[in-house]
Amino acid sequence: MKKSFTTRSLHVRFPKDDPHRALDMPVYESVAFEFNSAEDISANFKGELPAHVYSRSTNPTVEFFELKMKKLTGAHQALAVVSGMTAISNTIMGICKAGDNIISGHHLFAHTYALFDQSLRNYGLESRFCDTTNAEAVEKLIDENTRAIYFETVTNPQLEIADIKKLAEVARKYNLILIADSTLTPPVVFDSKSFGVNIEVMSTTKYVSGGATSFGGVVLDNGNYDWLLNPNLKELHSKFGKDTFIARLRKNYYRNTGGAMSAHTAHYQIMGLDMLELRVERSYNNSMELGSFLRNHRKVKDVNYPGLKDADNYLLAEQQFSGVPGTILTFDLESEEACFAFMNKLKLIRRATNMNDNKSLIIHPWSTIYVEFPEEQRLGMKIFPTTMRLSVGIEAARDLIGDIEQALA
Ligand SMILES: *Cc1c(COP(=O)(O)O)cnc(C)c1O
């Protein structure tokens, strides 16, 4: 039988024995690494002697974090980077060139939307936005310059869930790469490969870091796409075969844009993986308890959490994410003023913008994250003035309920 996520995480072996037999991976905070001879360093640069050279390319602590991500997800290759945004931007740059386009979900993490709609557009790379919960809508936008389909496993704050197998079918039909941002559904609950995802990108700043300890991101290649099918990658295929995509990032975009994760960050992220399953379990149980409590409170107008049995997309959450569609929930009060008054009365739950911290965090997306968008556009994105987003932490459920109860009174 497959061992639990935590058991497996705790017992991944180092790629090389540590000279002191350290039990935990040491933090190799060194910029450069030395060679015994001029011949050796030359052999390394020719690609004949693999070794760490310079930490912007590879580093032993970061390499161990990548190895753990690979072992825990079953991915063919993993690349750790400095942030979620680096994982996303490097991935798209690694797949496309000017004149190409991608089809992307229209409800995206705000900075991903800005990256696609502004930054990458300036370099001739077009993003075509649509509702990825509707596979036919995705298919309609595809043309001969389309290279990938991009979606988020659970959108935030709408909490929409696409049928991933349907997206994978469309991607396969047109030889496109299916890319999932799985930040809200960590590898404890989501096995992206089994749904036909080719590339997974993740902001490990959120769950994996162990609770907002550090910025990080990871790119996972599931090894299930034939890189000969992508005109920008096929030349590298003769040299790198199955490793083509990660090789292109390592030798080009990742290295040349300076996206390296630091050894200290990798240390936090390694510890974060060991505690991930426990934390997700606790936050999920809290989310379920808070969800039912809020649903039954007379002052609460609406509660959205796809983990609740009567949610519209509960079935997709069950099938794709083992019933654990992240631990973010949203709820509505009668007005924006009521939301502000409620938030100001909270004594325990913090007013902050992050997600999947160990602490519970609350925000009013309408007046913060999305405030720069005109009102009509916000409504079009299903952002409403009456909605608050709660990132459920690992406190005791009774303490969180107590805080919410007194603030609603
Ligand atoms: C936070 C987040 C990102 C960006 O990650 P950073 O680590 O902050 O760069 C991308 N996608 C999703 C879904 C996120 O929640």
Same domain, 159 and 296: no
Same domain, 105 and 227: yes
* Cα 360 from Cα 365, distance rounded (Å): 16
From 265, 285, 305, the end of a domain falls on 265
Same domain, 96 and 50: yes
CB atoms closer than 10 angstroms to residue 50: 9
171: domain CATH number?
3.40.640.10
CB atoms closer than 10 angstroms to residue 144: 7
Give me the residue label for tokens 């919410």.
404
Same domain, 18 and 72: yes
CB of residue 93 inside a 6 A radius of ligand 1: no
Same domain, 82 and 205: yes
Residue whose CB lies within 8 A of the most ligand 1 atoms, among 83, 85, 150, 213, for a mutation test: 85
Residue 330 lies in a domain: yes
Q: How far is the CA of 84 from the centre of ligand 1 (A)?
A: 5
Q: Write out the residue range of the structural domain in which residue 161 sits.
A: 5-265
Q: Whose CA is nearest to atom 1 of ligand 1?
A: 203
The string over 220-254, giving b where at least 16 C-beta atoms fall within 10 Å of a residue's C-beta and e elsewhere, is bbbebbebeebeebeebbeebebbbbbbbbbeebb
**Tens place of pLDDT for every residue, the chain, 409 residues?**
889 999 999 999 999 999 999 999 999 999 999 999 999 999 999 989 999 999 999 999 999 999 999 999 999 999 999 999 999 999 999 999 999 999 999 999 999 999 999 999 999 999 999 999 999 999 999 999 999 999 999 999 999 999 999 999 999 999 999 999 999 999 999 999 999 999 999 999 999 999 999 999 999 999 999 999 999 999 999 999 999 999 999 999 999 999 999 999 999 999 999 999 999 999 999 999 999 999 999 999 999 999 999 999 999 999 999 999 999 999 999 999 999 999 999 999 999 999 999 999 999 999 999 998 999 999 999 999 999 999 999 999 999 999 999 999 9
Residue 364 lies in a domain: yes
Same domain, 53 and 34: yes
216 CA closest ligand 1 atom index: 7
Q: Are the C-beta atoms of 36 and 30 separated by less than 8 Å? A: no
Residue 339 lies in a domain: yes
Q: How far is the CA of 51 from the centre of ligand 1 (A)?
A: 31
* Cα 216 from Cα 82, distance rounded (Å): 5
Same domain, 301 and 184: no
Backbone angles phi, psi at 70, to 5 degrees: -65, -50
355 CA closest ligand 1 atom index: 15
Same domain, 289 and 181: no
Same domain, 43 and 176: yes
Q: Whose CA is nearest to atom 7 of ligand 1?
A: 84
Residue 271 lies in a domain: no
From 239, 265, 291, the end of a domain falls on 265
Q: Where are the beta strands (DSSP E) in 139-216?
A: 146-152, 177-181, 199-203
Residue 221 belongs to what H/E stretch? Answer: strand 217-221
Q: How far is the CA of 102 from the centre of ligand 1 (A)?
A: 19
Number of domains in the chain: 2
Same domain, 261 and 280: no
Q: Where are the beta strands (DSSP E) in 239-359?
A: 302-304, 328-332, 350-351
Q: Are the C-beta atoms of 161 and 320 separated by less than 8 Å? A: yes
* Cα 61 from Cα 66, distance rounded (Å): 9
